[in-house]
Amino acid sequence: MSTPEEPLLVRSQAETLEARLAEARRFLQVVAGPRQVGKTTLVEQVLARTSRPSLYASADEPSLRDETWLLTQWERGRALAAQGGKEGAVLALDEIQKIPRWSEVVKRLWDEDTRARRRLRVIVLGSAPLLVQRGLGESLAGRFEVLRLPHWSFAEMKAGFGFTLEQFLWFGGYPGAAPLAREPERWRRYVLDSLIETTLSRDVLLMTRVDKPALLRRLFELGCRFSGQVLSYTKMLGQLQDAGNTTTLAHYLELLGGAGMLCGLPKFAGRVQRQRGSSPKLQVLDTCLMTAQSGQPPEALRADREYRGRLVESAVGAHLAAAAATEGLELFYWRDGNREVDFVVRAGRTLTAIEVKSGRAPTAHSGLADFRSTFKPRRTLLVGTEGIPLEEFLLRPVSETLRD
């Protein structure tokens, strides 16, 4: 196994953020994504390369952060903007969702600066996209652009840490955990304690009303165990042995998806009302969330063909889910009886059906032919055996693959 080192890689989203900051002041820039995917590092890289004066401040500190703290940082930013003359300044506020009523305060301050023609460009960062989005929708409509940072792709982990395909399937796309890959047990504890537990306790349970926190945790564990499988909410309740209801499970799955951990892909049916009522296909958003909880060593990838197959399908799904979050695509699965298509991607009115050949025993028959005759997709793709090699598929942006 190669030894990962600290990366020098600058993510592609940095160029986008730089270009937006170079424009005339128009929108708040919101950098949103799961914990530990490099949001702070990316913003610091951009600030280091700008010629404008800049200020970075984080609300993710042990001491109390409230409206007064936010007002103080904003005034410091205004002072820098005045010193910067025509160039103005940049203010970056990290973990913004930790401030009570942050969106109302930011709206007032942003509008004051707009009226006063202050040249203060503002970046806000948040580790819980669902919570950040809720705050934006409440007060800041029309005043912001979102730059979404997903987990690191295989291409990024390969460039930044020298990961092989097998390493990426097991250790996933968290750059902070990558240097621990040489010590699998230490890596596992880091993922469990610093990523999974911190995300659940600080980004979900602490920030959102959850009446049954134990149920949410068990749902996450269940979703990781059955990633790549379609489960009805009723079956989930049976597995979880809880007296909750399907509406609660659907809500908790939405919270876990917003935190970048686990989502439920809807069934493609061509009609929105049928999609909403479908059983979800459980999908982890990074494969390390599966492997860290499995209790198995990395050698299981070679020894357990079935488990490797599950990881392969989940890695493809996570790659597609990241593209859906960042490239404006929609992601589904399709099933009719015992025939299934692993993934359906919709870009505008264009459909692409994707089947993953992972080497695991199929749980349903391929439904590509039936899907083609019913929905007329622009193309169908096989990933893995007899199709696009898995490594090639994961190394390329989804948008490029769909254009070919």
Max mean pLDDT among 243-247, 274-278, 282-286 falls in 282-286
Lowest-pLDDT range of 178-182, 185-189, 242-246, 396-400: 242-246
pLDDT at 202 over 80: yes
CATH of the domain at 96: 3.40.50.300
In this prediction, residue 339 has a pLDDT band, given cuts at 50, 70 and 90, of very high
pLDDT tens digits along 147-196: 999 999 999 999 999 999 999 999 999 999 999 999 999 999 999 999 99
pLDDT at 272 over 80: no
**Residue 276 within any structural domain of the chain:** no
Q: At what angle do helices 129-139 and 246-258 cross, to 10 degrees?
A: 90
- For residue 83, the model assigns a pLDDT of 93
Cα separations in angstroms, 252 against 3, 110, 212:
37, 33, 9
Domain boundary among 124, 148, 172: 148
- For residue 273, the model assigns a pLDDT of 46
In this prediction, residue 276 has a pLDDT band, given cuts at 50, 70 and 90, of low
Mean pLDDT of 71-77: 96
Which token pair is 78? Answer: 């205004």
- For residue 15, the model assigns a pLDDT of 95
More confident residue, 244 or 292: 292
Mean pLDDT of 119-142: 81
In this prediction, residue 206 has a pLDDT band, given cuts at 50, 70 and 90, of confident
Report the 10 Å Cβ neighbour count for 139.
16
**Residue 337 within any structural domain of the chain:** yes
In this prediction, residue 1 has a pLDDT band, given cuts at 50, 70 and 90, of very low
Q: How many domains does the chain have?
A: 2
**Residue 293 within any structural domain of the chain:** no
In this prediction, residue 66 has a pLDDT band, given cuts at 50, 70 and 90, of confident
pLDDT tens digits along 340-349: 999 999 998 8
Which token pair is 150? Answer: 């997903």
- For residue 383, the model assigns a pLDDT of 96
Cα separations in angstroms, 107 against 27, 91, 266:
11, 15, 35
Residues found in the chain: 404
Give the C-alpha separation, 150 to 152, whole Å: 6
C-alpha dihedral, 280 to 275 to 380 to 157, nearest 10°: -50
CATH of the domain at 377: 3.40.1350
Instruction: Report whether 195 contacts 189 (CB < 8 A).
Output: no
Give the C-alpha separation, 32 to 39, whole Å: 7
- For residue 249, the model assigns a pLDDT of 92
**Residue 16 within any structural domain of the chain:** yes
pLDDT tens digits along 352-363: 999 999 866 666
- For residue 60, the model assigns a pLDDT of 77
- For residue 4, the model assigns a pLDDT of 52
Which token pair is 94? Answer: 């990290």
Domain boundary among 117, 148, 179: 148
pLDDT tens digits along 14-64: 999 999 999 999 999 999 999 899 999 999 999 999 999 999 999 876 566
Average pLDDT of the chain is 90
Give the C-alpha separation, 346 to 223, whole Å: 24
**Residue 165 within any structural domain of the chain:** no
Full domain range(s) for residue 50 = 12-148
Buried b / exposed e across 325-353, counting CB within 10 Å, b at 16+? bbeebebbbbbeeeebbbbbbbbeeebbb
**Residue 136 within any structural domain of the chain:** yes
Domain boundary among 148, 163, 183: 148
Q: What is the pTM of this model?
A: 0.90
- For residue 8, the model assigns a pLDDT of 64
- For residue 64, the model assigns a pLDDT of 61
Q: Is the dihedral of CA 223, 225, 231, 235 positive or negative?
A: negative
**Residue 238 within any structural domain of the chain:** no
**Residue 305 within any structural domain of the chain:** no
Lowest-pLDDT range of 128-132, 205-209, 263-267, 337-341: 128-132
pLDDT at 3 over 50: no
